[in-house]
Structure 1
Amino acid sequence: MEGLLNDTLAYIEAAGWYAPMLFIILHIIRPILFLPVLLVTLAGGYVFGMFYGMIFSYVGLMGVSLTFYWLIERFPSIYEKLKGIKEKLFGSRGNVNIWQLLLLRIMPFVHFHALSFYVMEESKNYRDYVKTSAIINISPAVVYTAFGGLIHQLPLPGVVAFALFLLLFMFILRPKKHGDPIHTDDLETPIPQK
């Protein structure tokens, strides 16, 4: 998959005026290719620079969110699977405010669609879902694209050091046990075990 991403990015860089459209399409089909949001958005900052990378990544993330809403209702098995993930992440109450959603959206180990599913379940209607998605998609577009633009400006030793830092950061933040849900102790009070 990494070779596919590199080839795709090289093609997008050489595409000229329709490169942004190809990048946005890459964002929308990213879930099918099993590419992480972090990787594609970093690439946007690297290829287009910080300002345009943020804009194109934001449009792509909104495209993914809108497509998700439309598709999830057509696939009941995926709906049920995401409902189980939502229960593991947020428990039965799941009272998460917009600021927490903004932070969760940039956490690399929180599944993008699980968070979209949470927003969908908590929204009153489609319009409310779109409004909330429009707010929470700002954080990955800004943060990840800024890192991508920074990587583009760093010399090779800086890129290597930054990559090692990211790997260490992801290692530290990983769930400690296999099958252990992401700990959300700070987000809500834990449900007592029977």
Structure 2
Amino acid sequence: MIEAEQWIEGLIEQAGWLGPVLFIFLHLIRPFLFLPVVVVCVAGGYLFGFLGGAVYSIIGLSLMSAVFYKLVNHFPRVGERMLKLKRKVAGERKMTIGQVMVLRVMPFVHFHLLSLYLMDMTKSYREYMHYSVLGVITPALLYTAFGEVIERMPWYESLTFLTVLLVLYAFLERRKKQKQEQSED
């Protein structure tokens, strides 16, 4: 994996003005290379600086969301496989859009699994893309800006960061249940 990252880095650096295009394309093929989102975003910050890396990552992740939506809707087998994965991982669990947004920030949470949740919660492609783009901004900014910090954090700081995100997720879950109970009354 390290060799693949070095090869990709060298290719983008030598590409000149085509570098950003190749980097955005890397986001599109990332799932096939089994590269986590965090790795690609951190690479964007390293190669293009914070602003460029964040913008290119937002564009790439947004395009990936659009491609995923089209694949799932145009190829039923892809959709069925992803739904099986969703059921296997999360069962019939329901989430709010806020919870999906929090999970998008967590490193190594399956990007497309969360996209399936967004597809279930939204009524149209436009609404799905609206929330998808909003959902990739925070991780793109966070991983691009703080990627090296997150990667080099001692285990106890990483665990603290993960705990804060899990508490935020649980808070949103509790709030969702309270709203459901209030609407039933």
CA–CA separation in structure 2 for the residues paired with 1:92 and 1:85: 11
Could you list the runs of 5+ residues in structure 1 that have no partner in the other structure?
152-158, 175-183, 190-194
Alpha-carbon contact 2:37-2:108 (below 8 Å) kept: no
Whichever structure has more helix as a proportion of its residues is: 2
Q: Give % identity.
A: 44
Higher relative contact order (CA 8 A, sep 6+): 1
How far does residue 106 in structure 1 lie from its aligned partner after superposition?
A: 1.1
CA–CA separation in structure 1 for the residues paired with 2:45 and 2:155: 19
- Which residue of structure 2 aligns with residue 123 of structure 1? 122
Q: 1:94 to 1:59 in 2, by over 3 A?
A: same
- Which residue of structure 2 aligns with residue 59 of structure 1? 59
Pick one of 124, 142, 151 that aligns with 1:163: 151
How far does residue 126 in structure 1 lie from its aligned partner after superposition?
A: 0.8
Q: 1:41 to 1:124 in 2, by over 3 A?
A: same
Question: Given the two structures, how large is their TM-score scaled by the length of structure 2?
Answer: 0.78
Pick one of 162, 169, 173 that aligns with 1:188: 173
How far does residue 44 in structure 1 lie from its aligned partner after superposition?
A: 0.2
1:26-49, CA deviations, whole angstroms, 9 ceiling, x for partnerless residues?
Answer: 111101111110100000001100
Q: 1:147 to 1:85 in 2, by over 3 A?
A: same
Alpha-carbon contact 1:44-1:145 (below 8 Å) kept: yes
Q: 1:188 to 1:100 in 2, by over 3 A?
A: closer
- Which residue of structure 2 aligns with residue 38 of structure 1? 38
Could you list the runs of 5+ residues in structure 2 that have no partner in the other structure?
164-168, 175-185
Letter in 2 for 1:122: M
- Which residue of structure 2 aligns with residue 155 of structure 1? none
How far does residue 163 in structure 1 lie from its aligned partner after superposition?
A: 3.5
- Which residue of structure 2 aligns with residue 81 of structure 1? 81
1:85-131, CA deviations, whole angstroms, 9 ceiling, x for partnerless residues?
Answer: 4346655351413x333221111132100001111121101111111
- Which residue of structure 1 aligns with residue 111 of structure 2? 112
CA–CA separation in structure 1 for the residues paired with 2:78 and 2:145: 33
Q: CA RMSD in A?
A: 2.8
4+ aligned runs moved over 3 Å, structure 1: 74-78, 84-93, 184-189
How far does residue 166 in structure 1 lie from its aligned partner after superposition?
A: 6.4
Question: Given the two structures, how large is their TM-score scaled by the length of structure 1?
Answer: 0.75
Alpha-carbon contact 2:41-2:57 (below 8 Å) kept: yes
Q: 1:124 to 1:167 in 2, by over 3 A?
A: same
Secondary structure in 1 aligned to 2:31?
A: coil
- Which residue of structure 2 aligns with residue 134 of structure 1? 133
